[in-house]
């Protein structure tokens, strides 16, 4: 055992300006290098330009299953059991992340174990065995997620899935990455082999390598992945969202003890443009993820204690309940503005919906104030440093920069924009990209019909508190509870939870 290595371990340098080289591979593949010489680990991210948007109709879930077959299945050299046994002493592993437009294989190993690790990692990509028993196992996990976990174990994630489903009906963005139940059941090994052959080509990948590697590893990795077949699959056109006219509500009927709410609308902007960073300031003030200073949080949780938190987003933010900081490698050409209201008591559902929409309307109508703007941009200027504290995170952002075509990195741009943007820029971006008249709302609740009736009637929904509240809050409550939503009955549909994600 190489015990000496433990004493010489050193950490990656954080936040210092490190060389970030991007150059084209000779084979026309892309290469992203992030050397950190004193990092004792090596990070890999191999990005294939394919995602769940590429799932054929009737085979939703194929992209994710294919990726899982590579990361959690056998190779031609080793059975899955053998792979586990070999990876285990290395304290290393690899996984695949399949989102709408990106599939990324990532892994990390200590330098001491590189030679043992490397062949396992590359074999997984280059020589998958595609065994039936692996497919059966992985499918079973996927179906358990779709049939049980997503529908019953987290109303919050369910609400977000329904929101996207409604906004992107009929497009490759509509279904969750895991797929649909009937589709997943129908997927065969032949489907997977065909999908792998089409999309896992040497012309359809970007190599990301970071940490304490040496130059020979770059060449070796390029050469080895160059063994994949040629082919440049055509990317689907960006999805055309099903933009609501008016406020449209989908109520998911479920025997739920509380009510989870997500809402949003499609936007025509992605990271990289000046206006996006202006919106990021407004969004952070309104609903910075897991941050108690943000406005929605203050109004709904801090002053009224209705729930655990309230946030807003201008980029897709999967598994928000499990993470503090934004994910990487979930890029999309079409993003939505999204508000996430964590579960509230059923009796407060109407009030909470009104409170969120009212606060959003106030922001759109009135913009931010100078002091709100100053505080938020100063916050973000430093806060974004936390987004990429590790080599693996930085590599993830570098891959995303390539995805979004950003020659100057997103995080560097972010900080630069916090110095350049003005309040006028922010308020102009709000006016241009945000509105409150057309909004899709997804609500997980019980007694959906009675909620539908209440929404249609638009009658006041007064809050009753079990404990004392300040008069200022009670006065504001009167305005919130009467805030008009103008929802037409034909814009409300009720869906039983058991009917979701079937086919």
Partner 1 sequence: MAENIFPYKAQKETLPNGLKVIMIPMETPGIVAYYSVVRTGSRDEVEPGKSGFAHFFEHMMFRGTKTYPGAVYDSIVTSIGANANAYTSDDITAFHLNFAKEDLERVIEIESDRFQHLSYAKPAFQTEAGAVYGEYRKSITQPFSLLNEKMQNVAYDVHTYKHTTIGFEADIKAMPEAYDYSKTFFQRFYRPENVVIVICGDIDPATTMAWVKKSYGGWEKGYVAPKVTPEPPQTAERTGDVTYPGKSLPIIDIAYKGDALDPNNRDFVAALLLGDLAFGENSDLYKKLVIQEQKVQFISPSIPPNRDTPLFEIYSMVKTPEDINYVRDEVYKTLESFKTTPVDAARLEGLKKRNKYDFLMGLDTPDHVAGGLARFVAITGDIDVVDQLYKTSDTITAQDVMNAAKKYFVPERRTVVVLKGAK
Candidates 331, 364, 344, 346; CA nearest to 265 is 364
The rounded Cα 138 to chain-centroid distance in angstroms is 22
Minimum CB–partner distance for residue 471 and partner 1 (Å) = 11
* Range in contact with partner 1 (rule: CB under 8 A) among 148-156, 360-368, 428-436, 476-484: 148-156
* Range in contact with partner 1 (rule: CB under 8 A) among 47-55, 154-162, 230-238, 448-456: 154-162
Number of residues that bind partner 1 (CB under 8 A): 87
Q: Give 3-state DSSP helix, strand, coil % of the chain, rounded to 5.
A: 45, 15, 35
Contact status: 307 vs partner 1 (CB under 8 A): yes
Minimum CB–partner distance for residue 350 and partner 1 (Å) = 17
Cβ nearer to partner 1, comparing 100 with 304:
304
Cβ nearer to partner 1, comparing 49 with 304:
304
Q: Encoding tokens for residue 296?
A: 């929605």
* Range in contact with partner 1 (rule: CB under 8 A) among 195-203, 231-239, 338-346, 431-439: 338-346
Residue numbers 423-452 binding partner 1 by CB under 8 A: none
Minimum CB–partner distance for residue 174 and partner 1 (Å) = 23
Residue numbers 16-45 binding partner 1 by CB under 8 A: 16, 38-41
Cβ nearer to partner 1, comparing 113 with 250:
113
**Binder among 15, 240, 319, 438 for partner 1 (CB under 8 A):** 15
Residue numbers 104-133 binding partner 1 by CB under 8 A: 108, 110, 112-113, 133
Cβ nearer to partner 1, comparing 205 with 444:
444
Cβ nearer to partner 1, comparing 36 with 247:
36
**439 φ, ψ (degrees, to nearest 5):** -145, 135
- What string of DSSP letters covers 68-116? HHHHSS-BSSS-HHHHHHHHGGGT-EEEEEE-SS-EEEEEEEEGGGHHH
Cβ nearer to partner 1, comparing 171 with 390:
390
Contact status: 383 vs partner 1 (CB under 8 A): yes
* Range in contact with partner 1 (rule: CB under 8 A) among 59-67, 145-153, 219-227, 483-491: 145-153
Give CA–CA dist 503/496, Å, rounded. 14
Strand partners, 205: 48
51 and 178 Cβ atoms separated by less than 8 Å = no
**Binder among 58, 77, 89, 223 for partner 1 (CB under 8 A):** 89
Q: Where are the beta strands (DSSP E) in 317-465?
A: 335-345, 439-445
**220 φ, ψ (degrees, to nearest 5):** -60, -45
Contact status: 152 vs partner 1 (CB under 8 A): yes
Cβ nearer to partner 1, comparing 76 with 457:
76
Q: Look-up: residue for tokens 């012309």?
A: 203
Contact status: 1 vs partner 1 (CB under 8 A): yes
- What string of DSSP letters covers 265-319? EEES--TTSHHHHHHHHHHHHHH-TT-TTSHHIIIIIITT--SS-EEEESS--TT
Give CA–CA dist 448/443, Å, rounded. 9
Q: Encoding tokens for residue 133?
A: 């028993």
Give CA–CA dist 277/314, Å, rounded. 10
Cβ nearer to partner 1, comparing 102 with 209:
209
**Binder among 185, 333, 381, 416 for partner 1 (CB under 8 A):** 381
Contact status: 389 vs partner 1 (CB under 8 A): yes
**Binder among 343, 367, 396, 409 for partner 1 (CB under 8 A):** 343
Residue numbers 217-256 binding partner 1 by CB under 8 A: 255-256
Candidates 317, 306, 284; CA nearest to 355 is 306
Say which residues have a Cβ less than 8 Å from residue 18's Cβ, sequence separation at least 6. 34, 35, 36, 394
- What string of DSSP letters covers 326-357? --SS---SSEEEEEEEEEEEGGGHHHHHHHHH
Residue numbers 450-479 binding partner 1 by CB under 8 A: 466-470
Contact status: 136 vs partner 1 (CB under 8 A): yes
* Range in contact with partner 1 (rule: CB under 8 A) among 81-89, 202-210, 395-403, 421-429: 81-89
Q: Look-up: residue for tokens 């933009």?
A: 243
**500 φ, ψ (degrees, to nearest 5):** -80, 145
**Binder among 45, 295, 304, 433 for partner 1 (CB under 8 A):** 304
**Binder among 95, 127, 291, 481 for partner 1 (CB under 8 A):** 291
Residue numbers 249-288 binding partner 1 by CB under 8 A: 255-258, 260
């Amino acid at each position: 055992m190489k015990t000496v290595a433990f004493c010489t371990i050193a950490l990656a340098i954080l936040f210092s300006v490190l060389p970030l080289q991007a150059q084209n591979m000779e084979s026309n593949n892309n290469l992203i290098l992030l050397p950190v010489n004193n990092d004792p680990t090596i990070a890999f991210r191999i990005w294939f330009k394919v995602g769940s948007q590429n799932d054929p109709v009737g085979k939703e879930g194929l992209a994710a299953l294919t990726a899982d077959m590579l990361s959690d299945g056998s190779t031609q050299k080793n059975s899955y059991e053998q792979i586990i046994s070999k990876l285990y002493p290395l304290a290393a592993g690899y996984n695949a992340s399949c989102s709408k437009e990106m599939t990324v294989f990532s892994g990390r190993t200590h330098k001491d174990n590189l030679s043992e690790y490397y062949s396992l990692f590359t074999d997984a990509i280059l020589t998958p065995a595609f065994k039936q028993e692996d497919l059966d196992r992985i499918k079973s996990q996927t179906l358990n997620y779709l049939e049980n976990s997503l529908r019953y174990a987290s109303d919050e994630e369910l609400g977000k899935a329904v929101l996207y489903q409604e906004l992107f009906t009929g497009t490759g963005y509509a279904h969750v990455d895991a797929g649909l139940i009937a589709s997943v059941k129908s997927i065969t090994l032949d489907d997977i082999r065909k999908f792998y052959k089409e999309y896992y080509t040497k012309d359809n990948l970007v190599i990301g390598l970071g940490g304490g590697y040496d130059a020979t590893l770059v060449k070796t990795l390029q050469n080895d992945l160059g063994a994949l077949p040629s082919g440049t699959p055509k990317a689907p056109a960006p999805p055309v969202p099903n933009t609501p006219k008016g406020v449209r509500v989908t109520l998911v009927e479920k025997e739920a003890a509380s009510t989870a709410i997500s809402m949003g609308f499609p936007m025509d902007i992605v990271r990289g443009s000046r206006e996006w960073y202006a919106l990021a300031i407004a969004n952070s003030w309104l609903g910075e993820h897991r941050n108690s200073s943000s406005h929605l949080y203050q109004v709904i949780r801090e002053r009224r204690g209705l729930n655990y938190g309230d946030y807003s987003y201008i980029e897709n933010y999967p598994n928000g309940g499990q993470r503090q900081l934004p994910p990487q490698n979930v890029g999309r050409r079409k993003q939505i503005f999204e508000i996430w209201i964590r579960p509230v008591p059923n009796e407060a559902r109407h009030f909470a919906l009104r409170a969120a929409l009212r606060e959003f309307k106030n922001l759109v109508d009135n913009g931010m104030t100078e002091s709100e703007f100053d505080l938020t941009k100063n916050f973000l200027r430093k806060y974004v440093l936390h987004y990429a504290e590790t080599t693996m995170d930085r590599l993830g952002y570098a891959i995303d920069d390539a995805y979004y075509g950003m020659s100057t990195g997103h995080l560097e741009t972010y900080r630069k924009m916090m110095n350049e943007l003005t309040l006028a820029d922010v308020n102009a971006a709000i006016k241009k990209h945000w509105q409150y008249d057309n909004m899709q709302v997804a609500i997980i609740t019980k007694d959906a019909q009675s909620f539908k009736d209440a929404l249609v009637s638009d009658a006041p929904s007064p809050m009753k508190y079990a404990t004392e509240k300040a008069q200022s809050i009670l006065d504001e409550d009167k305005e919130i509870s009467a805030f008009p939503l103008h929802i037409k009955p034909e814009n409300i549909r009720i869906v039983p939870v058991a009917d979701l994600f079937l086919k």
